[in-house]
Amino acid sequence: MTMEFAYYPGCASCATGLAYDMSTRYIARTIGLKLRVIPDWNCCGASAAHLVNRDLSLALPARSLALSEKRLPGLDVVASCAACFGRLKTTRHFARESNENRAHLESLIDREYRAEANVFSLLQIIAENDDIKEAIQARMTKVLSGLKIACYYGCMLVRPTEVVEFDDEENPQSMDDILRLVGAEPVDWAFKSYCCGASLQVTEPSAGKTMVEKILHNAQINGAEAIATACPLCQLNVDMRQKEVNWLTGSSYDLPVYYFTELIALCLGATPKEIGLDKHYNPAVTCASSKLKDPRVAAAEAAAEAEAAAAAAKPKPRPKPKTEDTTSAAAAEPQPEVVTTTEPVAATPVAAEPQPEVDVAAEPVAVTPVAAEPQPEVVTTTEPVAAEPQPANDDKVVAP
């Protein structure tokens, strides 16, 4: 894929969005991305012109696009500012809808405009161009290890979908993917493409600050340590209005608001001053700088954390259930007596000898021991002798 584009800086690049332009150019120099500034470009009209005069809102961006086609033929146009991207893309879309529309534009700007070159946002060319992503990865000296970031796209970068043809308007992911590439941890939150209030901060400040407060609140409760954006007006409103919101609501928001390009540039080796990080209203240097780590160290730490998490999640073996030991139980129970004989023999009962009567009242008389009578001899024969019937005994088992 191409690494060369016509570059439309936009008015904010020279003023409130200076850090955006500085960090964009730093990235381009470092990875070999050629951004050729459109000669004699002019303001795109942003959000003001199309509220005042439709022809003016189309003529202003059409002139810059026509100059790009003539001076930088064959190059697609890249705009870093979300509002500029929206106005340039809308004008090209209008011109390509019909020959009549294109002819009308040519009459307004008094020059030829063929609407052949496409228009992309800076975020889009990085997200969709594998060569650019690979160049960033190859030149990273640091990663933003564990920086929890809320990626804020704003309302103009992904809308209207039929015009911009980029990402998802409700849950965009391109910036999340890019910052994940440089080590950050994007959080899941609900205000990714919510409007920052734009110029309402001037015309209806109460409504504008309410919108900013909702963005800050949702980012914070979802664990974000900072916010990243791709729109100079979004960055300005959310960054600059935090102190006012805190004063009005009694809150204590303290979220640095970065351009996504500043975070990439830091990982490519830029110093905070080189990319304008020191120009923010809400201090932004410490938060990002404290997360920068050598990629190898961060990878080792991540591997260790993953291993520990896997070990914790691994189910422990269950102890074997206790079972009754039937063998020992059976051995412990008393067994019925089994009487076995090789050859049953009838036993002859021997009568006990009568003992002499002792008169306990008389004087002691010496007792003469009586010799035991010899027992009759038991004769066994080879022929079985019928056993006399025994009394029934239910507690004994006689072997057959």
Tell me the average pLDDT of the chain. 86
pLDDT at 224 over 70: yes
Is 275 within the bounds of a domain? yes
Is 319 within the bounds of a domain? no
| Structural domains counted in the chain | 1
Q: Output the CA–CA distances (angstroms, integers) from residue 167 to 121, 162, 180, in the order listed.
A: 11, 11, 16
Is 242 within the bounds of a domain? yes
Is 377 within the bounds of a domain? no
Q: Which of 316, 354, 353, 339 is nearest to 387 (CA)?
A: 339
pLDDT at 338 over 60: no
Is 388 within the bounds of a domain? no
Q: What's the mean pLDDT in 246-257?
A: 96
The pLDDT value recorded for residue 48 is 82
Is 386 within the bounds of a domain? no
The pLDDT value recorded for residue 256 is 98
Is 360 within the bounds of a domain? no
Is 313 within the bounds of a domain? no
Most confident of 45-59, 201-215, 293-307: 201-215
The pLDDT value recorded for residue 305 is 82
Name residue 63's amino acid: R
Residues 109 and 64: beta-carbon distance below 8 Å: no
pLDDT at 110 over 80: yes
Between 321 and 19, residue with greater pLDDT? 19
Print the domain residue range for 263. Answer: 4-304
Q: What's the mean pLDDT in 48-74?
A: 95
The percent of residues above 70 in pLDDT, for the chain, comes to: 79
Report the predicted TM-score, pTM, of the whole model to 2 decimal places.
0.77
CA angle, corner 201, sides to 195 and 207, nearest 5?
A: 70
The pLDDT value recorded for residue 377 is 54
Q: 54-59: which pairs have CB atoms within 8 A and are 24 or more residues apart?
A: 55/108, 57/87, 58/90, 58/91, 58/94, 58/105, 58/108, 59/105, 59/108, 59/109
Q: What's the mean pLDDT in 7-19?
A: 95
Please report which confidence band the pLDDT of residue 329 belongs to, taking 50, 70 and 90 as the band edges. Answer: very low
Q: Note the helical H segments in the chain.
A: 18-31, 46-52, 54-71, 82-97, 99-109, 122-128, 130-139, 161-164, 174-181, 200-203, 205-221, 232-240, 242-249, 260-267, 285-289, 295-313, 326-332
Say which residue the tokens 């006689």 belong to. 398
Please report which confidence band the pLDDT of residue 200 belongs to, taking 50, 70 and 90 as the band edges. Answer: confident
CATH number for 99: 1.20.1050.140
CA dist 63 and 95 (Å) reads: 12
The pLDDT value recorded for residue 51 is 83
- Give the length of the chain: 400
